[in-house]
């Protein structure tokens, strides 16, 4: 296999793979030494790094995966938005989704404790909309079901993977841009849960300092503005 043939084969495998492809997996697939694979990957990554390319190969989670470049996210969002119906969620649903996204995997009792209200109906709605999925059961008394965000969530909220979840600072900027925008926010039906304050200390350990309930509500509105514009998955 020539150097160009090897790079072409690696490129095809990385494109087709759902998860980051490791050097070991790639070497086994193409039948060459890992040192040759690493050298070919270095050349492949460099060839995608030029400004004119719309996608790039990144080394993530011990493997290699294709991603769209950040400067093209907006145009890809617009394209995908035209293919998918708008996503409408109530504010309680958006706030519950935010809690799960930053605390995952998380159980229903833990969500109840953070939000201060019964969220069973909201979680059921998020499961029906395929924004959540189950992640086994927690090894505690009662073995409650664990919930996490889904691939559909990543697409809807413009993320390639969970490592790209916005920081609180980035969320604040999104919130400032989204203040006053109600597009994508569905009205809360009579009898539905009221919006409860989120206990700051409950989510303080996810990736930033504790936040107030007002900040959580603003974050949810920011997510709502983004939720209509799904971005590329890992492969453009």
Domain residue ranges of the chain, discontinuous segments joined by +: 3-68, 83-227
Higher pLDDT, 209 or 133: 133
Q: Is the pLDDT of residue 99 over 80?
A: yes
CA atoms of 162 and 147, how far apart (whole Å)? 14
Q: How far apart are the first and last CA of the chain?
A: 28
Q: Is the pLDDT of residue 28 over 90?
A: yes
Q: Which fold has domain 3-68?
A: Arc Repressor Mutant, subunit A (1.10.10)
Query: At 169, is the pLDDT very low, low, confident or very high (cuts 50, 70, 90)?
Result: low
The yes/no answer on whether domain 83-227 falls in CATH 3.30.1330.20 is no
Kindly report which listed range (6-10, 87-91, 94-98, 203-207) carries the lowest average pLDDT score: 203-207
CB atoms within 10 A of CB 159: 23
Query: At 82, is the pLDDT very low, low, confident or very high (cuts 50, 70, 90)?
Result: confident
Smallest CA-to-CA distance from 152 within 87, 96, 76, 89 is with 87
Query: At 168, is the pLDDT very low, low, confident or very high (cuts 50, 70, 90)?
Result: low
Mean pLDDT (whole number) for 112-135: 92
Give backbone dihedrals phi and psi of 68, rounded to 5 degrees, phi first: -75, 150
DSSP 142: T
Query: At 52, is the pLDDT very low, low, confident or very high (cuts 50, 70, 90)?
Result: confident
| Cα angle 48, 164, 8; round to 5 | 25
Smallest CA-to-CA distance from 198 within 133, 121, 102 is with 102
Mean pLDDT (whole number) for 213-228: 48
Query: At 112, is the pLDDT very low, low, confident or very high (cuts 50, 70, 90)?
Result: very high
Helix (H) / strand (E) element for 219: namely helix 213-227
DSSP 234: S
Does the fold of domain 83-227 match that of domain 3-68?
yes
Mean pLDDT (whole number) for 140-167: 83
Q: Is the pLDDT of residue 24 over 50?
A: yes
Query: At 86, is the pLDDT very low, low, confident or very high (cuts 50, 70, 90)?
Result: low
CA atoms of 151 and 121, how far apart (whole Å)? 21
CA atoms of 57 and 42, how far apart (whole Å)? 10
Give the chain's mean pLDDT.
75
């Amino acid at each position: 296999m020539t150097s160009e043939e090897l790079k072409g084969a690696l490129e095809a495998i990385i494109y087709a793979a759902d998860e980051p492809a490791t050097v070991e997996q790639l070497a086994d697939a193409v039948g060459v030494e890992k040192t040759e694979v690493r050298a070919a990957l270095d050349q492949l990554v460099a060839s995608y790094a030029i400004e004119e390319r719309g996608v790039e190969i990144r080394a993530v989670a011990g493997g290699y995966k294709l991603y769209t470049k950040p400067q093209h996210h907006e145009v890809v969002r617009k394209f995908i938005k035209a293919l998918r119906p708008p996503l409408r969620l109530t504010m309680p649903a958006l706030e519950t989704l935010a809690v799960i996204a930053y605390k995952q995997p998380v159980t229903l009792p833990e969500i109840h404790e953070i939000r201060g209200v019964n969220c069973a109906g909201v979680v059921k709605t998020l499961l029906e909309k395929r924004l959540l999925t189950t992640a086994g059961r927690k090894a505690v008394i009662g073995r409650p079901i664990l919930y996490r965000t889904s691939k559909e969530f990543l697409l809807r909220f413009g993320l390639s993977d969970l490592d790209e979840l916005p920081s609180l600072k980035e969320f604040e900027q999104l919130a400032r841009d989204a203040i006053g925008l109600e597009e994508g926010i569905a009205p809360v039906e009579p009898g539905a849960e009221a919006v409860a304050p989120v206990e700051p200390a409950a989510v303080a350990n996810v990736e930033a300092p504790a936040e107030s309930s007002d900040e959580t509500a603003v974050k949810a509105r920011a997510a709502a503005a983004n939720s209509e514009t799904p971005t590329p998955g890992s492969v453009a």
